[in-house]
Amino acid sequence: MTGVCVGFPGLINHKDGNVIKSSQLVWEDVPLLRILEEQLAFSVLIDNELNLRAYAEGFLPKIKHHSMAVIGFGSGVGSALMIGDQIHKGYLNSAGEIGHTIVDTNGILCTCGNFGCLQTYIAESFLVQEASKKSNAQSLHKIISATEKGYKWAENILSRAITYASITVNSCVCMYNPERVILTGEMIEQFLHVRDRILQESRNKIWSPLSDSTSIEVSQLGEKGVVLGASMYSQREYINHLSTEKGWFNRITPISGFQKSRNRIVGGMMF
């Protein structure tokens, strides 16, 4: 094995592999790439998990598109934009942080320090925080169970989350005009009736000039999406730098017994 690719929830500086900020893990300015390479003795690639998922979605067989956006709803809210075969990463690999767009200046305090970020109305931890005012529900699953039992407070929280999720989709469509929008994350993959409500409300809210030309879909990759994307991305980097002396895979000497001459690519993974 010659390298490791890590999908990470947060802002990753693609120039040095530092974690700029991760709200989910409460990390800031962590030299993750250096730490991993020192511990593993392998070359390491790090990217945002949604960017890697977008690679997997974008290179699915028989699916051709000009542009595609992936939106994740779970512990946070984020997005990734793929144009052709390239991920739009922004100046510091920080593009796509749609969850930190401010929708209410008098809203809830976000982990980033701002008030009223979009994700504070959708992400699980904030929904649980809101639910704690009415019950001891400690997870999205318990909030949804409460809606099924007829609790009004739970339905209010869930309905608001679904509305803001659909606003997220519309904002993404209006900003980027992608051909396809792929929805993913725990809220989409684990709660099918919530997924269906988000899909329906999103389609109803899409700006009318773009509604007929925009396909809103659910990811078919599930939990495998990030792993597949990491495999594809690292494989692509390996091929791009195969003939150079300063490529990604030459930063670290492979562990004894795994020489470059013995590398082989099997099923999208590198050995």
Each residue of 166-211: pLDDT tens digit? 999 999 999 999 999 999 999 999 999 999 999 999 999 999 999 9
| SS3 call for 29 | strand
* Predicted confidence band of residue 250 (pLDDT cuts 50, 70, 90): low
Look up residue 121 and give its two tokens: 């109305």
Lowest model confidence (mean pLDDT) among 51-65, 124-138, 196-210, 223-237 = 51-65
Residue 48 near residue 88 (C-beta atoms within 8 A): no
Query: Can you give the pTM of this predicted structure?
Result: 0.85
* Predicted confidence band of residue 256 (pLDDT cuts 50, 70, 90): very low
- Residue ranges of alpha helices (H) inside the chain are 32-40, 49-58, 124-131, 140-148, 152-176, 186-189, 192-205, 208-211, 225-240
What is 62-224's CATH number?
A: 3.30.420.40
C-alpha pair distances (Å), 22 with each of 10, 175, 212, 220, 231: 4, 24, 36, 26, 23
DSSP 8-state symbol, 62: T
pLDDT of residue 248: 52
List the domain boundaries for the chain.
3-50+225-270, 62-224
Per residue in 219-229, pLDDT tens?
Answer: 989 888 999 99
Per the prediction, the chain carries an average pLDDT of: 86
